């Protein structure tokens, strides 16, 4: 029969609807704020809409490049050649952000990486694309293949730079996910995102990310701007060991971008926190076992349960355990033997499996006969 056990919790779970309802307002057309550890959405506005991402697209260019480095296909000391195409499309004459590369120049991959991240060089992006894939269109195909592989749902790339193209679109939700992948998969390279300036060919340029200069704990990632996209930012910050990632697009000025992105990040840290509900292998119940070499088996949580919740709502969460008893032997270690339900004001928000801590073997025929006899005489005690 089913058995319920209830727990009061000083923690809980944030969900998108609860997080966004009348909580924060922004002038951005599209915005999202995500907890890095749990993936919880603290705020979202038109987050699935495919938009022109401008230079935030370069995060995918960098992701592909870093993947090649990690796989050993490319090294930081390797040099790439600057083509006339890269110089014309991405150089100073194009009017966009540039690393000021020269035709025929041999440039170290490490410098190109810095030129993309710090100087937002369109020329650097095209050089990377051509030297990795043979051409920028072929590299864009690789970007799309990679985007699908890592789970981006609303993304299509036509170039390596983010320069305007009618079919080059990404959602802020996908940009936040991409940022999360970069931080998690390439920790040895992530400090480059917070470097405030870089000098190449005798020209010093500063990082355009306003949060690096004004927000406590800010450490990346990438700005963007075109007339269609407006002023944009994918940003991240860490406070007290906790990281938030935000993406904003469609802002009207540099000043507005700086103010709005800082306000959203500050609001997120002030109003939400992460709480560990349960620890991996924490004992939750002793479940009776029928026909087993042991009378009970221990039900445990298979992994740490950490959730992002609103600080003011901790007392509204609870949890209950449901399992059938008795179980019938044999029971194998790791078998699901129950469920942990986490609730907010009585409504279930999460279902977490409970598993057997150890195996319980099935006893022989004579022992089963005695167990049946006991059940017939005394019932299920």
- Strand partners for 201: none
DSSP state of 76: T
Spatial contact of 176 and 245, defined as CB atoms under 8 Å apart: yes
- Strand partners for 246: 33, 235
List 14, 55, 97, 236, catalytic entry:
55
236 noted as active-site residue: no
Which residue has tokens 């083509």?
A: 83
> What is the C-alpha R_g of the chain?
27
* Residue 315 CA: distances (Å) to CA of 157, 277, 373: 45, 13, 47
For residues 159 and 95, give the distance between their C-alpha atoms in angstroms, rounded to a whole number: 17
351 noted as active-site residue: no
135 noted as active-site residue: no
CA 130 to chain centre: 29
SS3 content of the chain, % helix, strand, coil (to 5): 35, 35, 35
SS3 22: coil
List 14, 120, 171, 236, catalytic entry:
120
Run of H or E including 30: strand 30-35
List 45, 57, 58, 236, catalytic entry:
58
- Strand partners for 225: 231
- C-alpha angle 25-309-340 in degrees, rounded to nearest 5: 145
**Quick one: residue 344, left, alpha or beta (phi over 0 = left, psi -120 to 50 = alpha)?**
beta
Catalytically active residues are 55, 58, 120
């Amino acid at each position: 029969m089913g058995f319920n056990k209830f727990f009061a919790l000083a923690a809980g779970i944030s969900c998108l609807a609860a997080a966004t309802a009348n909580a924060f307002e922004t002038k951005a057309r599209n915005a999202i704020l995500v907890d890095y550890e749990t993936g919880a959405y603290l705020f979202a506005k038109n987050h699935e809409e495919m938009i022109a991402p401008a230079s935030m697209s370069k995060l995918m260019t960098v992701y592909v490049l870093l993947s090649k480095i990690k796989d050993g296909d490319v090294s930081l000391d390797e040099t790439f050649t600057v083509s006339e195409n890269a110089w014309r499309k991405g150089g100073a004459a194009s009017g966009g952000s540039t690393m000021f590369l020269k035709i025929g120049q041999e440039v170290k991959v490490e410098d190109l990486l810095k030129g993309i991240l710090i100087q937002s060089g369109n020329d650097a992006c095209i050089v990377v694309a051509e030297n990795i894939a043979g051409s920028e269109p072929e590299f864009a195909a690789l970007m799309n293949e990679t985007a699908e592989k890592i789970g981006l749902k609303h993304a299509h790339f036509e170039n390596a730079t983010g320069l305007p193209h009618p079919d080059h679109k990404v959602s802020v939700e996908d940009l936040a996910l991409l940022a999360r992948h970069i931080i998690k998969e390439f920790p040895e390279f992530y400090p480059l995102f917070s470097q405030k300036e870089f000098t190449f060919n005798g020209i010093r340029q500063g990082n355009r990310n306003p949060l690096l200069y004004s927000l406590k704990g800010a450490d990346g990632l990438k700005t963007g701007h075109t007339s269609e996209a407006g002023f944009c930012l994918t940003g991240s910050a860490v406070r007290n060991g906790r990281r938030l990632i935000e993406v904003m697009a469609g802002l009207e000025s540099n000043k507005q971008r700086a103010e709005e992105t800082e306000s959203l990040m500050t609001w997120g840290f002030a109003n939400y926190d992460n709480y560990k509900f349960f620890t991996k292998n924490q004992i939750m119940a002793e479940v009776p076992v029928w026909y087993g070499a042991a009378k009970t088996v221990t039900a445990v949580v298979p992994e740490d349960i950490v959730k992002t919740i609103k600080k003011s709502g901790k007392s509204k969460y609870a949890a209950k355990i449901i399992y059938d008893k008795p179980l019938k032997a044999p029971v194998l270690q790791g078998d699901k033997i129950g469920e942990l339900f986490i609730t907010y004001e009585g409504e279930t928000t999460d279902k977490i499996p409970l598993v057997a801590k150890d195996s319980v073997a099935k006893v022989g025929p004579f022992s089963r006969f005695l167990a049946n006899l006991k059940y017939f005489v005394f019932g299920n005690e």
